[in-house]
Chain A
């Protein structure tokens, strides 16, 4: 059998029915309070209108840069951290989640990547989901992150969160001048 992967289709506007059982906004419920980072942001469409029916999935390594997954060939993390989160947007297009900062993980050619989250975005109007990343402001490792270096310098800021309200703000701009960088994955 050599069929290509099944075609993606939109989640549509009613995904909550099927996806809500795995909603998870706190990725690190047992982490010490001082290690916790609250992320918040909005999803805006090409008319700068809030997208009230988007859902974001977050995937990240633990604080030591380990993934709870068989293909991470190092010792599995034992801190109970799964690395997965799933949050919907509200009527104003807002989302929020909390987590810990991941450690660095290996990238292409063994070069270490800067700490980052991988984010998949689903919504009505996306026949196939978007994939992007979030990096941490002020981290010196951002300067030579092998993935950020693939992004035109002028657009890199869309992948780096900003300190705001005691947490980090990161917005998803679907179209326009400040359009978020999305990846061909």
Chain B
């Protein structure tokens, strides 16, 4: 596993990057932004609420674990105050180049089908979300996670940890290299198998744009049977969780490319009431 340090007031940043530099990066970016907004008297606007069906519900009985974990009392509609429209800011110092290649984190190459995953992170207005941290985790090609609670009878791969991190560039693009994860059984119902998937966690600009999702693979026969995938009622929204095979990012003699674009909430048109 990569080394980390954790002793200062910053986020846990790898030791290779002096923390002062990351801090300077964040503060410099912010003063430029504040100069641009000038003497604005109104707070910046909040973020849009999801259209019906485009996000999964809390209670989805077909996914058994939701039954004892979904809230039963009504949710309280939360206005987006300064506490919600802000969120943690990560600098490029937070990731190293090798964090984006899950096939190069050990002495040997992991087993399985090498793949390249690329995509663009944008908001609902199509604007690039630049400098966004994307955290990635997955099981290996045999369908086994490197986790003490994964008891699936499939081999671990000494050359695969299954974790990666990458920052989006100024156009919101990201790219990582990995192996295609395997399907694996789970105990949700009789003969339940998760379709192959990669977990992605994103910090956009605000705490209310936070997104944890899963990327699936086109043509997976398990998709119609997976209660997690099918938890999202809107068919279009659901199918956007499936990556597309992509010639443009496919590397000759090396690896197939898959494209997975991600959309984070867009801003409300109207400024927050003051």
Return chain B residues, CB-CB under 8 Å to A124: 65, 69
Interface residues of A in 43-75 (CB under 8 A from B): 45-47, 49, 51, 53, 57, 59-61, 67-73
Interchain CB contact under 8 A, A147 and B79? yes
Interchain CB contact under 8 A, B27 and A76? yes
B244-260 near A? 1/0 per residue, CB < 8 Å = 00000000000000000
| Interface class of chain B by DSSP | loop
Interchain CB contact under 8 A, A9 and B88? no
Interface residues of A in 166-180 (CB under 8 A from B): 174-176, 179
A121 CB, min distance to chain B CBs, angstroms: 10
Return chain B residues, CB-CB under 8 Å to A175: 68-72
In-complex Cβ contact of B82 among A4, A49, A106 (8 A): A106
Minimal Cβ-Cβ distance residue in B for A48: B68
B52-86 near A? 1/0 per residue, CB < 8 Å = 00111110100101111111110111111111111
In-complex Cβ contact of B8 among A30, A118, A174, A181 (8 A): A30
The total of Cβ contacts below 8 Å across the A-B interface reads 284
Interchain CB contact under 8 A, A70 and B78? no
In-complex Cβ contact of A71 among B4, B7, B44, B63 (8 A): B44
Of A20, A28, A30, A51, the most chain B CB neighbours within 10 A belong to: A20
Minimal Cβ-Cβ distance residue in B for A75: B34
A159 CB, min distance to chain B CBs, angstroms: 10
Interchain CB contact under 8 A, B165 and A17? no
B189 within 8 A of A: no
Return chain A residues, CB-CB under 8 Å to B50: 4-5
Minimal Cβ-Cβ distance residue in A for B137: A18
B15 within 8 A of A: no
Nearest 4 A-B pairs (CB), nearest first?
Answer: A18-B137, A125-B65, A1-B126, A127-B56
Binding site for B on A (CB under 8 A): 1-24, 28-30, 45-47, 49, 51, 53, 57, 59-61, 67-73, 76, 80-84, 105-110, 113, 116, 118, 120, 122-131, 146-147, 150-151, 155, 174-176, 179, 181-185
Contacts A49-B68, A113-B81, A120-B210 aside, 18 further interface pairs with beta carbons under 8 A come to A5-B55, A5-B209, A6-B263, A7-B237, A8-B211, A10-B214, A10-B228, A13-B150, A22-B135, A24-B6, A47-B68, A76-B27, A82-B10, A118-B84, A125-B69, A174-B68, A174-B71, A185-B78
